[in-house]
Amino acid sequence: MKKVILDKFAEVFGDNQGAKAYFAPGRVNLIGDHTDYNGGHVFPCALTLGTYGVARKREDNKLRFYSMNFDSLGVIESSLEELNPGEGENWTAYPKGVIWAFGEKGMQVTKGMDLLLFGNIPNGSGLSSSASVEVLTGFILRDFFGFDVTNQDLALIGQYSENKYNLVNCGIMDQFAIAMGKKDHAIFLDTATLSFEYAPVKLEGAKVVIACSNKKRGLVDSKYNERRSQSEAALKELQKVVDIETLGDLDEETFEKHQDAIADTVCRKRAKHAVSENQRTIQAVEALKQNDIELFGKLMSESHVSLRDDYETSCDETDLLVAEAWKNPGVLGSRITGGGFGGCTVSIVKDKAVEQFKEQIGKVYLEKVGYAADFYVVDIGDGPCVL
């Protein structure tokens, strides 16, 4: 892949003298969705799928961007003076947002760059192609300018840029999982404190299979920000009767006792998911440590029900993928993953059932939805690197 992207860079920008190649992974969240901005726990891992980049520092303030995934757009030119939060016109808003965010944090980017990207994460799939681009851009800027930032800082800068430049109120999970990825390990992260531990993912006799619904979704114009504000409204009402900082501070028993303090029934459902999902995530990591893959899978499936019914971030397409997965005796657990409203499901599938899983679910999905789903048997990989 390195040769392919370096050759393409030379074709697009005239030559590849002085250019370097980089990679940042995508991520999948095994369990713990919409808990990250509610002060709960998440359990994501970095993938070997991700975003490849070739970059070269310029001597002027020009920014030239090219994506092999959006080649019809050609080279998009801009400059360091043209960084406007909220512009969101095309994919370049993500790298531009990170350049802007470094400046906001007191680290001025003083030279422009030529940047070529190629991603093998399905666009709009919920596997964090945007966060992958953010972390990759931050990693390149650190390499170019010697900024004194850790990988954890790169995650926080990526989140800041998405919140303030792209106007998506995302939590920290995506950028953190990508920046801090470790091969064959998932990250058990407390989003309230950013304390974390690496947990080995040993699925003996089973694989992680991602099914992409190919229903495109946009985070900003979806209901993502609305879900966040509903959760915040529920928290404010709960804080009148119980001493908590976040919904993640509650166990299910305490929530049951005080839930009537939330007047709006929809906001109450949102809070119920945030609390129960956090507890499920804690239990799931413990199950994995005990090598109880069956319980881990069961908790994944319970997570989907909660996301479908209480948080309402699933959709007909992902519900169909999960319902069909549950029918397969080789499936230990299946759920929607990521922001929702389309995107992907993640399933734990016994080795001997993987091919049948892809074939049967793919057939039913095509018949009922009218277009195909894509399937990826994935490996858990490391964080960003120079190629």
Residue in the structure block whose two tokens are 């080795």? 351
Phi, psi of 66 (to 5 degrees): -145, 130
| The CA-based dihedral angle spanning residues 63, 69, 71, 72, taken in that order and rounded to the nearest 10 degrees | -120
Phi, psi of 351 (to 5 degrees): -50, -45
C-alpha dist (Å) from residue 177 to 212, 260, 272, 370, 379:
20, 35, 25, 34, 14
Length in residues, the chain: 387
Q: Is 276 exposed, middle or buried (0-12, 13-18, 19+ CB in 10 A)?
A: buried
Q: Angle at CA 374, nearest 5°, toward 177 and 182?
A: 20
Cβ-Cβ contacts under 8 Å for 240 (sequence gap 6 or more): 261
- Residue 124, sorted as left (phi over 0), alpha (psi -120 to 50) or beta, turns out to be left
Question: What are the strands, taking DSSP E only, across the chain?
Answer: 20-31, 41-57, 62-67, 76-79, 113-119, 185-190, 195-200, 206-212, 331-337, 344-350, 374-378, 385-386
Short-list 65, 79, 97, 61, CA closest to 170: 97
| Catalytic position from the list 33, 36, 114, 174 | 174
Q: Does residue 33 carry a catalytic annotation?
A: no
Which residues, listed in sequence order, are joined to residue 70 by a DSSP beta bridge?
Answer: none
Given CA atoms 9, 374, 28, 100 in this order, what sign does their dihedral have? positive
d(CA 287, CA 334): 16
As given in the structure block, the two tokens for residue 328 are 């397969």
Active site (catalytic) residues: 174
